[in-house]
Structure 1
């Protein structure tokens, strides 16, 4: 029997990624269903595998791990972006003991961090976290409890003189300042396009005003989307965008 499954440690399955791996191996859904059933010890119909790949049904973690075994890959190859510290650890293939040893913290400290999805380590421990677990920027910022601060800075940046905000933002989002400079400039230009359109004809101006307000409301989502485009231009499109 497979080990007891952790109900929250894996990101959700990325359907198109699972289908792409299966197609690359030349396997049918029936063959995959048979292998998944053998791993789990319970029957699995090919239609269920098809539903997973279509995104109409979300498999449980145990089925994602079974699917990975059937497709001769890591579960990390089949799932979307990690959104919690627990998911980052699992995607990295680390146990709790391996994680605490790498970060230099106690087991109880890490278990609390996973349970609350809140990171409060020292600067040295934070650098170890970034090296060891490689959390996606949105996950790291959320775990540090700084999402709202990020939104405030981004709104100020795109509506004023954005270059002065690159430094403050690098202290929140752990990325190369050159990357943030590039992305922040793009955000600024997009917002200015909508803002400039508010001076046109009444109907168009009203639409532009709504779009500009919506852009500011979801400014952090736009940041993450542009960062993914910049850092992973050839990334599998099945990875979900925020």
Structure 2
């Protein structure tokens, strides 16, 4: 984005510093660009202003609660208030990437930050439970697992149904190929089926993105 605008690193550093009201060394901007350092929430906002873009253009799909808050344009205090949680406790949840709120606090956080399902599940420490339940679902009769999975993944039931049906069909094709005869092809299919199950949660996120547009 900087190069498309014809700006130097020094010019972007000056613009970010002007946004902050304090100088910023160009080396910090360069570290952001090459991935050696990451800007905090204020840094993302200032960088977006300097590059004439939205914070979402820099962050992409959020992967942490902090990135969700950045895209929601909320301060730490505002996010804590929306979650009805003391500021320090909310800040700790964000720093550790682990959410420990009550059901009411969780509802407030979700309404304010709108985290993608993957971020929500990871923050709530449910990734392991999700993987186990998904493996059982796609390797058996998946409709029996709609309830348990619906209590883990905060998406519409119709979207979850479509995603599970897609994952089940994909796994069954691989499993059927693995059971067909002998030789290298079935062996390769067996390996692909095992690899599919190893990344089953990632396949769910991909399928949900497709089902929700």
TM-score, structure 2 normalization: 0.84
In 2 relative to 1, CA 123–215 (structure 1 residues): closer, same or farther, beyond 3 Å?
same
SS of structure 1 residue aligned to 2:154 = coil
Q: How many residues align?
A: 201
Q: 1:33: how far off?
A: 4.1
SS of structure 1 residue aligned to 2:59 = coil
Q: 1:87: how far off?
A: 2.2
Residue of structure 2 equivalent to 1:235: none
Residue of structure 2 equivalent to 1:36: 12
Residue of structure 2 equivalent to 1:185: 165
The reply to whether residue 160 of structure 1 matches residue 136 of structure 2 is no
Name whichever structure is richer in helix by fraction: 2
Residue of structure 2 equivalent to 1:74: 54
The reply to whether residue 230 of structure 1 matches residue 208 of structure 2 is no
Residue of structure 2 equivalent to 1:126: 106
Residue of structure 2 equivalent to 1:169: 149
- The answer to whether the 8 Å contact 1:167/1:177 transfers is no
Residue of structure 1 equivalent to 2:200: 219
Unaligned runs of 5+ in 1: 1-17, 233-242
State the distance in 1 between where 2:25 and 2:99 align. 40
- The answer to whether the 8 Å contact 1:32/1:70 transfers is no
TM-score, structure 1 normalization: 0.74
- The answer to whether the 8 Å contact 1:194/1:208 transfers is yes
Aligned CA RMSD, in angstroms, stands at 2.4
In 2 relative to 1, CA 174–32 (structure 1 residues): closer, same or farther, beyond 3 Å?
farther
In 2 relative to 1, CA 43–90 (structure 1 residues): closer, same or farther, beyond 3 Å?
closer
Q: 1:97: how far off?
A: 1.2
- Larger RCO of the pair (alpha carbons < 8 Å, separation 6+): 1
- The answer to whether the 8 Å contact 2:72/2:113 transfers is yes
The reply to whether residue 140 of structure 1 matches residue 130 of structure 2 is no
State the distance in 1 between where 2:94 and 2:129 align. 22
